[in-house]
Structure formats: C-alpha cells, structure tokens
Structure 1
Amino acid sequence: MKKIPFLFTAFFVPLVACAQGNPGPYIDKDIFNICAAIVVMALLLGFLLTFSRLFLDYRIKTRLSDSGLPTEVISTLLPEDKNSSKTAALKWAVILAGIGLACTLIYFTLPLGIHSLAILACCLSASFAVYYIILLKMKK
C-alpha cells in the first residue's frame, strides 16, 4: 500500500521540478534576424540571376533567328537542356529535405553545440549523395 504513493511521487515530482530555471531562447534574436536577412537576400539574388540568364538566353535566340540563321545552327549553338529545370528542382528538394532532417535531429539533441554542426554536415552530405544516386539512375 505504501508503494503506490511512493511510485506516484517518484514519477510526477521530476516532471514539475525545474532546478535550472527558464533558459530562454537558444538563439539570440539579433543573430536570427541577421541570418534571416542573409537567407532572404540569397534567395532574391538567386532569383534575379536565374531570371536574367533566362531573359538573356531568350534575347540571344531571338537575335540569332532575326539574323537569318537556320534553326539547326541556332539549336547547335544554344542547346536547350530540357531536364535542367527538373534536375534543379530535384536537387533543391533533396537538399532542403536533408536540411529539414538535420534541423529536426538538432532540435531533439539540444542544447546547440559542435555536435549540431556535425549533424548538419552529415545530413547535407547524405542528401548530396542521394541526389548523385538519383542522377545516376536517371542517366541509365
């Protein structure tokens, strides 16, 4: 009879005990804002570079076609890679999935430390390996 209240106490007391207090946020707000600004700028610049490349390719093709060159010559000078957009989307999907897996694993192994960087590096290398294997299977 005395064992049940003791087990109850032994089970529930650690759930309400907070010896360390409230640790607060793990990442400083200023550091998070700087990292978010860098990521947004990288995405914006990547979009602008891709858009300008596509626009300039279109201008080159129209000028070559307006100059009277046959379409066979234009297609040999500027080959279109139809799979490039598909492989780019696949690459980003696999890399972002690896980063998501890394962030999930880092969350479950808090506090942040050197092991967090190791987890991130391993997940990113695994995602690049998966992308490489997928590319090899697509070529066959």
Structure 2
Amino acid sequence: MKKILVLSMIMAVPLAANAENGSYINQEVFNICSVIFLVGMGMLFLLTILKRILDFRLKNKIVEKGIDHTMAASILETNPQEGRNINIKWFAILAGLGSGLTLIHYTLPLGIHSMAIMSFCLAVSFLGYFFFLRQTER
C-alpha cells in the first residue's frame, strides 16, 4: 500500500510542473532539483554497495585467518540501536530540507540569504536528531 501511495505521489509531481493554467513549479528549478536528487541517490547506492562488498571481504579475511571467535565477534559487532534510528535521522534531514525550502519560498528573491536559511534549517534538524539520540540513550 505504501509503495502505491509513494509511486502515485511521484507521478503527480510532473503533472504539477506542467499544469495548463500556469506553471506552479519553474521547470529549470524542477530539473536542477531532480538532477541533484538522482545524483545523491546514485551516490548513496554506490556507497551502500561498496560498504557491503568491503564487509564481505573483511569477513572472508577473518575466516581465512582463523581468528578467535570472541575477537571476530568484537570486530564484526554492529550496533542494533543504530538501525532503529535511521528512519528518525532521515525524517529530521527531510523535515529540515522541507522547512528550509518553505522559508526560502516566502523570502524571494533567491540570494545568499537562501543558502543561510537552508544551512540553518539543516543544522537545526541535525541538532534535533542529536537531542533525540541523547534522550533515547538515557
């Protein structure tokens, strides 16, 4: 159900960009944002694949060397708490981006203050995520 909802929302964006009664989204801005998004997703994909390959190679080296079970467990230990907070981290990042873009929209024309607004909003979202992590550790 979630996939269908997300897919329909993604398909609705070009319709808003090409509305007949007037363009609600500037086509150049849309193209730039989509290219930045695609490049970011591609880099994230490559980093994830590279991390998995390197983890696999490390595990193979550990098995080949015949390292003690307790030593191997300490090297390969992952933090299970980290996996639970990934969704909150991405929520904080995207909420910061959304609030920054909203503020930039209401403070046109675009300029150096737009970059300051975006930086401040992202910093506040990361600060909120930091406080969330600190609160959940207690």
Q: TM-score normalized by structure 2? A: 0.66
Q: Deviations over 1:35-84 (max 9, x none)?
A: 53233112211211122212321332244235443321211222212223
Higher relative contact order (CA 8 A, sep 6+): 1
Query: Retained in 2: the 8 A contact 1:99–1:124?
Result: yes
Gaps (5+ residues) in structure 1? 1-23
Q: What root-mean-square deviation, in Å, do the aligned CA atoms of Structure 1 and Structure 2 show?
A: 2.7
- The alignment-based identity, stated in percent, is 35
Structure 2: 5+ residue runs without aligned partners? Answer: 1-22
Q: Indicate the residue corresponding to 1:115 in structure 2.
A: 113
Structure 2 match to 1:124: 122
Larger relative helix fraction: 2
Aligned length: 116
- Code of the residue aligned with 2:68 in structure 1: it is P
Q: Which residue of 2 aligns with 1:72?
A: 70
Q: Give the aligned partner of residue 5 of structure 2.
A: none
Do the aligned partners of residues 114 and 77 (structure 1) sit closer, same or farther apart at CA in structure 2, a change above 3 Å counting? closer
Correspondence 1:55-94 to 2 at 5 A: 55-65=53-63, 67-94=65-92
- TM normalised by structure 1 equals 0.65
CA distance in 2, matches of 1:131, 1:73: 33
Cα distance change of structure 1 residues 25 and 70 upon mapping to structure 2, 3 Å threshold: same
Displacement of 1:88 in angstroms is: 3.5
Quick check: which has more Rg, 1 or 2? 1
Moved over 4 A (4+): 24-28
Matched, 1:95 2:78: no
Q: Does the aligned pair in 2 maintain the 1:95–1:128 contact within 8 Å? A: yes
